[in-house]
Amino acid sequence: MEAKEVTLKIDGKDVKATEGASILEVARKVGIEIPTLCYSSALEPFGSCRVCSVEITDARGRKKVVTSCNYPVKEGLEVSTKSEKVLKTRKLLLELLLARCPKVKKIQDLAREYGVEKPRFWIEDVEEDCILCGLCTRVCGERIGVYAINFANRGVEREVTAPYHSFSDDCIGCGACAIVCPTNSRRIQVNTYPTLPEDIENIEQKFLKGTKDENFGVYSDVFAAKSSVDGQDGGVATALLVSGMQRGLFDSAIVVQRTEGYNSEAVIAENVDNIMKAKGTKYLRVKMMSKLGELIDKGKKKIAVVGTACEVRAARKIQKILLKEFPDVEITIIGLFCFEAFDYEKLKKETKKLLGVDLDKAEKTQIHKGQYIVQIDGKEYACKVKELNDAIEKGCAYCDDFTAKLADISVGSVGSPDGYSTVIVRSDVGKRLLEKLDLAKEDANTEEVTKLSIFKKKRATKNFAPILQDMQIQTEPQTEQC
């Protein structure tokens, strides 16, 4: 059915609009600005801040104040965005918001526009910087599909947090929550890992060493290598872990092991046998960071983590925080190239549908030159990776890092001959890990790696565009320094 056109008046101006569009959308289209704090055109309206309040008069002449971001336009509606009642309502709301977040610049500025310099109300915590607008929780769930953060508690205790107030296992560090947050709140940095360009630069300076390339990240060496381990490709990831543990560079490693069938989970390996058991790629997004929390709680000081870019981002952010409290904690990070990961249940279903086989019986799975290959009883079953679109983790479409740029050393299959892994060395820790390791080496095809890195970045940029459309990355600190 074709959308109906309606005529309404906004601030005395006749406006034509599609029935059902919000007053805010329509007003903005005709150049009438209405302040908002909890609205993003990329997300479902939430109606929590109410600073977008306007006064409407309906066809029967009844007047009321409504939130414009979620109130649909109708034929004959009259809207006033600046009536005395509207200005009074916004002023009161801003006074309340300023009482909640007295140091947040955005709130201070907006309040000042409405004549509020100081709130009349009692201030509970002068450091509070979250206005509970829910933009972060909604972008994480609705867009990224991750649901790493949510609201907890009620009333004055209400807060945005990761489940159980501990390191989030779900956050992929995409940064969307930080991008949309109108106050640049510290709350979304607690136990989650939004990684913005400035975080990346900071991590690179602190932990990495080498030349910086836009697609490769910081690196000092890149080559193709094969170890004596019969791993996924050249067995390099496992060989690095085994050698590092034998040389005492770490005593625990967080690796990913198959549990039931193909389903997999992160486990703590404290000996070579357990590292060996984890060899081989499981093309799933596996939750890992709570294991890091577990090791820290146990008092472990030398830890290795192997994971895809999202896990690497998380591990680095945790490492940065931990270093303040435990300066002697050493974390060695082995990154894996990753274009996308799959959801176990969905991948199993698609494998059955497309290849007619049970994924749980796979001896090995491989993604190679656009093909998804499942090996069962020595026989290979294959289809195009593209056909698995329905099984891809939604958040991967927002991830722009193919080579795990923040790792100490990254390993992948693209760019190497069969049976070899491409290795990118990014830090002294990575270099040290390679010492005394006997690897057969070849030149890597860096063009192939670059091509996929660019492709992945373009995909993320395209998907982020609607989120960024009416938001600005908060580069300036929003909270005034004491």
Ligand X SMILES: Cc1cc2nc3c(=O)[nH]c(=O)nc-3n(C[C@H](O)[C@H](O)[C@H](O)COP(=O)(O)OP(=O)(O)OC[C@H]3O[C@@H](n4cnc5c(N)ncnc54)[C@H](O)[C@@H]3O)c2cc1C
The residues binding ligand FES (CB under 6 A) are: 36-39, 47-52, 67, 69
* Shortest reach from residue 315's CB to ligand X, in Å: 11
CA angle 354, 356, 359 (to 5 degrees): 90
- 250: part of which helix (H) or strand (E)? none
* Shortest reach from residue 477's CB to ligand FES, in Å: 23
Can you tell me the distance from the alpha carbon of 113 to that of 210, in angstroms, rounded to the nearest whole number? Answer: 48
**Residues 408-437 close enough to bind ligand X by CB under 6 A:** 411-414, 421
Phi, psi of 283, deg, nearest 5: -80, 50
Of 178 and 333, CB closest to ligand X: 333
Q: Strand, coil or helix: what is 107?
A: helix
The answer to whether the beta carbons of residues 281 and 347 sit under 8 Å apart is no
Site string for ligand X, 227-246 (x = CB under 6 A): --x-xxxxxxxx--x-----
> DSSP labels for 76-96?
T-EEESS-HHHHHHHHHHHHH
Q: Does 286 bind ligand X (CB under 6 A)?
A: yes
Can you tell me the distance from the alpha carbon of 225 to that of 423, in angstroms, rounded to the nearest whole number? Answer: 7
* Shortest reach from residue 234's CB to ligand SF4, in Å: 20
Q: Does 291 bind ligand X (CB under 6 A)?
A: no
Question: Which residue is at the shortest CB distance from ligand SF4?
Answer: 399
The answer to whether the beta carbons of residues 341 and 281 sit under 8 Å apart is no
Q: How many residues bind ligand X (CB under 6 A)?
A: 34
Residue appearing with tokens 């309340």: 96
Can you tell me the distance from the alpha carbon of 475 to that of 440, in angstroms, rounded to the nearest whole number? Answer: 46
Of 64 and 368, CB closest to ligand FES: 64
Site string for ligand X, 262-281 (x = CB under 6 A): ----------------xxxx
Write out the two tokens for 152: 């907890």
Of 73 and 140, CB closest to ligand SF4: 140
User: Rule CB under 6 A: which residues touch ligand SF4?
Assistant: 139-140, 144, 146, 148-149, 171-177, 192, 194, 285, 308-310, 338, 340-341, 393, 395-396, 399
Number of neighbours of residue 478 by Cβ within 10 angstroms: 19
Can you tell me the distance from the alpha carbon of 160 to that of 74, in angstroms, rounded to the nearest whole number? Answer: 35
Of 23 and 237, CB closest to ligand FES: 23
* Shortest reach from residue 131's CB to ligand FES, in Å: 9
DSSP bridge pairs for 6: 17
* Shortest reach from residue 193's CB to ligand SF4, in Å: 6
- 205: part of which helix (H) or strand (E)? helix 197-207
Write out the two tokens for 265: 């989970």
Of 395 and 430, CB closest to ligand SF4: 395
Can you tell me the distance from the alpha carbon of 361 to that of 262, in angstroms, rounded to the nearest whole number? Answer: 7
The length of the chain, given as a count of residues: 482
Of 71 and 207, CB closest to ligand FES: 71
* Shortest reach from residue 23's CB to ligand FES, in Å: 10
Among 282, 313, 316, 426, indicate the residue that binds ligand X (CB under 6 A): 282
* Shortest reach from residue 303's CB to ligand X, in Å: 14
Which residue from 211, 213, 227, 292 is spatially nearest to 434, judged by alpha carbons?
227
* Shortest reach from residue 395's CB to ligand X, in Å: 12
Cα separations (Å) of 69 from 14, 46, 72, 177, 293?
19, 8, 8, 20, 40
**Residues 361-390 close enough to bind ligand X by CB under 6 A:** 367
Q: Does 10 bind ligand X (CB under 6 A)?
A: no
Number of neighbours of residue 457 by Cβ within 10 angstroms: 16
Of 134 and 412, CB closest to ligand X: 412
Which one of ligand SF4, ligand X, ligand FES, none interacts with residue 49, CB within 5 to 8 A by kind? ligand FES
Q: Does 182 bind ligand X (CB under 6 A)?
A: no
Of 49 and 73, CB closest to ligand FES: 49
Of 52 and 275, CB closest to ligand FES: 52
* Shortest reach from residue 364's CB to ligand X, in Å: 10
Which one of ligand SF4, ligand X, ligand FES, none interacts with residue 237, CB within 5 to 8 A by kind? ligand X
Q: Does 338 bind ligand X (CB under 6 A)?
A: yes
* Shortest reach from residue 26's CB to ligand SF4, in Å: 29
Q: Which long-range contacts (CB under 8 A, 24 or more apart) does 204-209 make?
A: 204/406, 206/320, 207/316, 207/319, 207/406, 207/408, 207/427, 207/429, 208/406, 208/408, 208/426, 208/427, 209/426, 209/427, 209/428
Q: Strand, coil or helix: what is 290?
A: helix
> DSSP labels for 320-344?
HHHHHH-TT-EEEEEEE--S--B-H
Binding site for ligand X (CB under 6 A): 229, 231-238, 241, 255-256, 278-284, 286, 306-308, 336-339, 341, 367, 411-414, 421
